[in-house]
Amino acid sequence: MLTIEGSASLNLVKEQIDESLATAESNLEQFVEEPENDSRLKAAIEQFALIKGVFKVINLPGASMLAEHLELLGHKILAHHEKDNERELAAMSNAIMVLMHYLEYVEVKKQALPVLLIPTINEMRFFLSRALITESVFFDLGDNPERPPKPVNPQPDLQQLQASGRRLRHMYQVGLLGILRNESITANAKMMSRAVSRIDALCGNTPISKLWWLALAVLEAVGSESVQLNVARKSLLGMMDRQIKNLINLGESVLQKEPPKVTVQECVYIASLAGPAGEYLQQVTRHYQLETGGLTDENLRLEQEILRGPGGTVIRSVAEALSEELNQIKDALDLGARGAANDDEGFSSIAESMRKVANTLIMLGLSKAAGVFKTKADLVNNWSTEDVDPESEEFNEVADALLYVENSVATLSPRRGPDSNLYNSKAEEAIHDGISVTQLDDARRVVVGEARAGLSLAKRAITSFMDSNWDGMHLNNVPVTLKSVWGGLVFLQLQRAAAVIEACEAFIDTKLIRDRSDPPTPAMMETLADAITSVDYYLEGMEDDKPIGEGIMEVAEESMQELGFPVKAA
């Protein structure tokens, strides 16, 4: 359903197109040097108009659209010649280069993939003061069928929607805020999915439920990291929040509205890139009969890197290579300290390896770590196997520096998000304390893992309690389990999360085990599950070294407040 044709016809006219683009580029450069010479810009515009028509004939829609925008921006610059158009001209020059690379890509890969050109087209549209196009603009949605009917709960529950809607929207917004900050994507997507799932259940089989069904598929794709977050996809998730707001405020009128086709198209496009990687994605794939020829979001990113050059994968590869080099240096130092080194030049080869690592660290922006390593390399260079003392202060300083550099290299992978300062501060502390960041994280993950395992046990017991028509036997061990989780959270100094779990334990012990005069309602149990799940998401973020933030704790505290067991201030 993605446009991937047009490559075969390109071979017939590729040489002429290359010549036209080279001519346009030359004219544009001369116009930059002689801005008073309008004829150069006019000649470039003529070339853009020419190749635009050729691209349409050979069915390369992305290239045709980009050429059209180059033509339009050229006319705009021509009409406002008196203004400073340096940025616009730079953007045009970059677009020509991208278009040249794209044509080479189509020729070699034998596929067009016009979506690769969308970022460049949007850059042109920005300077033309036009709305940006969506990444699904070249995607053929085909028929737009209704959502498959739900097997249960066909009727909307407006009363419960009004009662819980604002809290569910807050839950969604907390997750969305984390997504916008690129924090703990998986945990935040799960939290947003939970909120949307609850809203979907309360909407019944109404037209708007189709939007929530597609939103769950998108969040499933985001949470499983089957698709990468970008500005367009974050914007789509933000639009969902506005739809939730309208639903809460307007109620019945929104329930009967079909979601906009452009939104449906965007959601289905993301689902097509993610593939049937989850329950909702499988449903959407079957329902829309998606067939993309094996194209996934990961493949698409790899194809984009071909046009753009090295990206994050290269940095990670360099980090892995550095880690291996550091391990070799550690082994060599260990052998040298025990007099077992096979080095006729003493420690000079180790010092040379340290300098090479330092030079690489500079290229990666780790200048402080590089400076530390270079200084210690000079010390190592003067050592010999006869007089080196592994117990000396100097040797321990080198070991500390090695640990510091190792910790600094470990920060390269998670530096994508706002947590980079956390990792950098850990590396700073390590040089003073002589503690490995990796070992600290392993110890913390053990405790976090145990706490999450306890929460999983509690959630399964609560589910069994609900499925067995409130048989209290399933809850007998839950208070003890939650107390152990509480202890782990206190040990981790997560006082706020510990207070939520303490309130959950009190609610279960008091309302579900001891006082059974009033049977609980499904809504009450879902609210309890919201609180426990929120803590679980919070811990999951810690487990992945991507803190989800304290906003999730607000959701948990609101849930316990709604149940009548307010959380005590930590």
Mean pLDDT in residue range 87-101: 90
Minimum mean pLDDT range among 73-77, 465-469, 546-550: 546-550
Share of the chain above pLDDT 70, in %: 87
Q: Residue 437 has what pLDDT?
A: 62
Mean pLDDT in residue range 171-176: 94
Summarised one tens digit per residue, pLDDT across range 124-139 is 999 999 988 888 898 8
Q: Over 90: is that where the pLDDT of 456 sits?
A: yes
Q: Got the DSSP string for 66-98? A: HHHHHHHHHHHHHHTTTS--HHHHHHHHHHHHH
Mean pLDDT in residue range 107-122: 84
In which band, very low, low, confident or very high, does the pLDDT at 370 lie, cut at 50, 70 and 90?
Answer: confident
In whole angstroms, give the CA distance from residue 488 to residue 467.
29
Q: Is 139 helix (H, G, I), strand (E, B) or coil?
A: strand
User: In the chain, how many H helices and how many E strands?
Assistant: 23, 0
Q: Residue 311 has what pLDDT?
A: 37
Cα–Cα distances (Å) from 145 to 200, 259, 370, in that order, read 18, 12, 59
Q: Is 491 helix (H, G, I), strand (E, B) or coil?
A: helix
Summarised one tens digit per residue, pLDDT across range 471-490 is 888 899 999 999 999 999 99
Amino acid at 242: R
Cα–Cα distances (Å) from 298 to 228, 302, 305, 362, in that order, read 8, 6, 11, 30
In which band, very low, low, confident or very high, does the pLDDT at 4 lie, cut at 50, 70 and 90?
Answer: very low
Mean pLDDT in residue range 310-336: 73
Mean pLDDT (the chain) is: 84
In whole angstroms, give the CA distance from residue 130 to residue 434.
56
Q: Please, which residues have CB within 8 angstroms of residue 291's CB and are 6 or more apart in sequence?
A: 1
DSSP 2: B
In whole angstroms, give the CA distance from residue 287 to residue 263.
16
| CB atoms closer than 10 angstroms to residue 522 | 10
Q: Residue 431 has what pLDDT?
A: 47
Which tokens in the block code for residue 307?
């046009």
**Residue given tokens 């005590």 in the structure block:** 568
Bigger pLDDT: 432 vs 242: 242
In whole angstroms, give the CA distance from residue 112 to residue 109.
8
Minimum mean pLDDT range among 48-52, 337-341, 401-405: 337-341
> Is there a common fold for 7-127 and 439-562?
yes
Most confident of 84-88, 104-108, 436-440: 84-88
Longest dimension (CA), the chain: 89
Mean pLDDT in residue range 96-120: 84
Decide: residue 403, CB within 10 A, 0-12 exposed, 13-18 middle, 19+ buried. Answer: buried
In whole angstroms, give the CA distance from residue 284 to residue 193.
16
Which tokens in the block code for residue 397?
């300083």
Domain 7-127 has CATH 1.10.490: no
Q: Which is nearest to 188 in space by CA: 171, 167, 164?
A: 171
Q: Residue 341 has what pLDDT?
A: 55
Q: Residue 215 has what pLDDT?
A: 95
**Residue given tokens 């040797």 in the structure block:** 395
Q: Residue 413 has what pLDDT?
A: 54
For 439-562, CATH gives 1.20.120.160
Most confident of 143-152, 352-361, 451-460, 465-474: 451-460
Summarised one tens digit per residue, pLDDT across range 497-548 is 999 999 999 999 999 988 877 888 989 999 999 999 999 998 887 777 666 7
Mean pLDDT in residue range 22-50: 91
Amino acid at 457: L
In which band, very low, low, confident or very high, does the pLDDT at 293 lie, cut at 50, 70 and 90?
Answer: low
Q: Over 60: is that where the pLDDT of 432 sits?
A: no
Which tokens in the block code for residue 180?
């916008």
DSSP 549: -
Question: How many angstroms separate the first and last alpha carbons of the chain?
Answer: 54
Q: Residue 507 has what pLDDT?
A: 94
Q: What are phi and psi of 282, to 5 degrees?
A: -65, -40
Amino acid at 148: P
**Buried-exposed string 365-377: b where 16+ CB fall within 10 A, e elsewhere:** ebebbbebbbebb
In which band, very low, low, confident or very high, does the pLDDT at 179 lie, cut at 50, 70 and 90?
Answer: very high
Bigger pLDDT: 107 vs 202: 202
Cα 10 to its chain centre, rounded Å, is 36
Containing H/E element for 99?
helix 86-109
Domain boundaries, the chain: 7-127, 158-306, 310-434, 439-562
In which band, very low, low, confident or very high, does the pLDDT at 246 lie, cut at 50, 70 and 90?
Answer: very high
In whole angstroms, give the CA distance from residue 175 to residue 193.
9
Q: Is 309 helix (H, G, I), strand (E, B) or coil?
A: coil
Q: What are phi and psi of 139, to 5 degrees?
A: -95, 130
Angle (nearest 5°) at CA 138 between 52 and 42: 20
| CB atoms closer than 10 angstroms to residue 219 | 28
Decide: residue 568, CB within 10 A, 0-12 exposed, 13-18 middle, 19+ buried. Answer: exposed
**Buried-exposed string 422-433: b where 16+ CB fall within 10 A, e elsewhere:** ebbebbeebbee
In whole angstroms, give the CA distance from residue 469 to residue 407.
52
Mean pLDDT in residue range 340-348: 62
Q: Which is nearest to 184 in space by CA: 411, 417, 449?
A: 417
Note if the pTM is more than 0.75. Answer: no
Most confident of 107-121, 427-441, 467-481: 467-481
Q: Is 187 helix (H, G, I), strand (E, B) or coil?
A: helix
Q: Over 60: is that where the pLDDT of 5 sits?
A: no
Q: Over 60: is that where the pLDDT of 414 sits?
A: no
Q: Over 60: is that where the pLDDT of 344 sits?
A: no
